[in-house]
Amino acid sequence: MDSWKELFAALDRFEGDQAAQKQQGLNDFNLLSSVLSVNDEVRLHTRFIYSLLNPKGKHYQGTRFLELFLEAIGRQDWLLDFSSVTVLKEHCPDGQQDQIDLWITDGKRQIVIENKLSAQDQKRQVARYLKAVGATNPEQADDTLFIYLTKNRQSPSDFGLGDLMVCQQTRRLLNANRQPVAHYQNLSYRRHTQQNSIHAWLDSCTQAVERQSNIAWALQDYQAVVERATKEYVSKVKTLKDVLDEGIAQGKRHHEQALQLTKELPSIHASWLEQALTSKLEAFLEPLVSKGAMTRIGSENAELLNPFVHNAYQNNTASLLYTPRFNFFRPGNGTRNRGAFYRLEAGPYATQAVLMLFYGSKMLHVGCLLTETAERSLDNLLPALTLSKPTKLAKHVFPRVLTYAEPLEYQGIIHLADFSNSPQRHTLNQLLTTLDCADGTTAS
């Protein structure tokens, strides 16, 4: 028992330390990732890299970042004429389909950069791109450099190479006759890698500018985005991992206990969900059911849901009813799109509205179902309760539905653990009042 006390004490300290760090201004905010996905290959990564390599960019550093790029990948002797160099992004050499992510040329020598953060190789992509920029003559093989930028792939696939091959010994791309057509270079987004890393270049760019300049801040922001994309990012604020690391270092059993919690949490969560959808919800609405103001919909009267569901469920409404076997937190099929339903039998919307507590593939919903014939003014009245129309549910299950939704595996299940004080119960109370089925105090 003492070891559990130590763990919970460590977690209490962790919460305090984390709060203090946040007060001090430590955070994981990132402007780029707040606007675009960290895996947005084109709009974020290709365009940011282009903005640095482009000598005419608003950084006003000329070819400085381009020169540092060649140094970072060990190609400082692969001379470009920097006085006439051009950098293009998303370039179509033939004005048709083949779009090269980044193309650098001085009119004679050229660099083709293929950005493959997450996307798979396209058919004969490398061969097509080199042909599009005229890199097919073995006598001019020294004039083209092909760079394959990935999270850590060793080389393009045979599917992407077409009739070309990579010679790792000479670092060349060879044609079907084993003649070189271009230099070849691997470049990785990962910081911790045995390949050349893009971080080496970004670090050198940061060192080349004033530390407190907006360029330095932008570079640091982008490096954090890359680390998030490669899952190498380390939070600036203390995390649970730090708590476990400290426990291991001190010879404590925190990691073992965390594993035990991880193992038992699904059954705990299943129990909270079970109680909320059955005994707690029934106890809350029983006064109205016993008065005849509501009807609980179960397997014996599942057809009452027919006016509220899409045609696909007309003869199978029972499949939407919660049963312990199909609890969200239990393994197996059929554990999604389940819930508890109560039809209103009193007030102006009797038989036209159903209150529900329902979970889909991710979200926990509490709200109201309406028949197609129910008064349309309700659609304007109910959103005042901070309800909204869940797109997927409306499209596939319930034609007219308005709910308050939370991720079930996060806020949702935490709130259901204390159902009597949950926003789900509060929303149901508001709905009872708004729909004139009760005065908001009838249910208890």
Enumerate residues 6+ apart whose C-beta is below 8 A from 163.
Answer: 124, 127, 175, 176
Contact 89, 102 (CB under 8 A): yes
| Count of positions (residues) in the chain | 444
- Interval 340-374: pLDDT, tens: 999 999 988 999 999 999 999 999 999 999 998 88
pLDDT above 60 (res 441): no
Contact 288, 294 (CB under 8 A): yes
- Interval 170-216: pLDDT, tens: 999 999 999 999 999 999 999 988 889 999 999 999 999 988 789 99
Delimit the domains of the chain by residue range: 2-28+237-252, 31-229, 262-434
3-class SS of residue 147: strand
- Report CA torsion sign: 23, 24, 27, 31: positive
Return the minimum-mean-pLDDT range out of 125-134, 135-144, 198-207, 250-259. 250-259
Distances (CA, A) of 28 to 22, 64, 202: 10, 30, 19
- Interval 44-99: pLDDT, tens: 999 999 999 999 999 999 999 999 999 999 999 888 999 999 999 999 887 667 78
pTM of the model as a whole: 0.58
Question: Which of 327, 305, 324 is CA-nearest to residue 316?
Answer: 305
